[in-house]
Amino acid sequence: MRLRLPQERPSRPPIGYKLAHPVLSHDGTRTGFAGVSIGGALPYGFLDDAHCVYGRRHRPPAPRCDCGFYCLHDRDEALALACATEYRRAVLLEVGVLGAYIRFERGMRYARQRVREVRVGACACGRASAGFVDAGWGRPGWRVLSAACAGCAVGRAGAGFAPRTVLGFAEFVRLGGGRVRVVNGAGGAEVAGAGASYERPVDGATASTVPELVAEASLLQVRLDWLQGQLARLTGKAPDVGEGGGGAEAR
């Protein structure tokens, strides 16, 4: 006789926590996340199904395989992982566990998930983040993003990065096509606490609060400066300088 684990039938989806890297597709039209462990080669969306990383045809989470999404029960345990050097620029996800799952002592392995919340740390310079920028590395077909303040985002664009690699939080959610809250933490890896929230409503409109508008305006200025610089480079003329603002200098 083979013993079987008891089956759970929760009234609502279980909640878990995990680290991930925000990603942007190579054509700049989609956003998602890449895991920090074995599944990092297969980026996933805000609502997605797990696939076996070994190419087998069974449905995750197979009992005799390592496939499936992973999460931890406790938020503090996930934050503790962010102390590792290779995970310092990762974000903390709160996910809803959907479909079949296998429960372990510290977490779960499961078939389907919905990302509910993204908690972002401070910029590498220590200031509050205003959006995502190209992290300088990625996966085939995907650029990995990291959080940055408006000032560092300007420097990123000035260093030759395309403007589509500078994304405000609201734009990141819009391109992901889901309903996700992005919480901008005060600083460091421990991002729990008060912060600006960004959510894509059902009708597709962008939330409008003062912190969000300031962040979005800063990143729009980054794109404008980059476009003016490119125009000046192609035409050989310095861009016009309007009242109260300036353009990139022709090089």
SS3 of the chain: the string is CCCCCCCCCCCCCCEEEEEEEEEEECCCCCEEEEECCHHHHCCECCEEECCCCCCCCCCCCCCCCCCCEEEECCHHHHHHHCCCHHHCCCEEEEEEEEEEEEECCCEEEEEEEEEEEEEECCCCCCCCCCEEEEEEEEECCEEEEEEECHHHHHHHHHCCCCHHHCEEHHHHHHHHCCCCEEEECCCCCCCCCCCCEEECCCCCCCCCCHHHHHHHHHHHHHHHHHHHHHHHHHHCCCCCCCCCCCCCCCC
Is residue 250 in a domain?
no
Q: Is the sign of the CA dihedral 37, 43, 48, 53 positive or negative?
A: negative
Low-confidence ranges of the chain (pLDDT < 70): 1-6, 154-165, 185-223, 226, 237-251
* pLDDT score, position 212: 54
Closest to 14 in 3D by CA, of 121, 120, 103, 145 = 103
The pLDDT value given to residue 162? 52
- pLDDT value for 24: 95
Tell me phi and psi for residue 243, to 5 degrees.
-65, 130
pTM, rounded to two decimals: 0.72
Give φ, ψ of 133 to 5 degrees.
-130, 165
How far apart are alpha carbons 149 and 121 in whole angstroms? 11
222 inside domain: yes
pLDDT at site 39: 77
Would residue 217 count as lying in a domain? yes
The pLDDT score that the predictor gives to residue 189 is: 34
Q: What is the span of the domain harbouring residue 191?
A: 15-234
For residue 178, what pLDDT is reported?
Answer: 79
34, part of any domain: yes
pLDDT tens string 38-69: 778 889 999 999 998 888 889 899 988 989 99
Q: Is residue 2 part of a domain?
A: no
Within a domain: 1: no
The string over 84-94, giving b where at least 16 C-beta atoms fall within 10 Å of a residue's C-beta and e elsewhere, is: eeebebbbbbb
Residue 31 tokens read as 């956003």
Residue 147 lies in a domain: yes
Number of domains comprising the chain: 1
- Whether 176 is covered by a domain: the verdict is yes
What was the pLDDT predicted at 22?
96
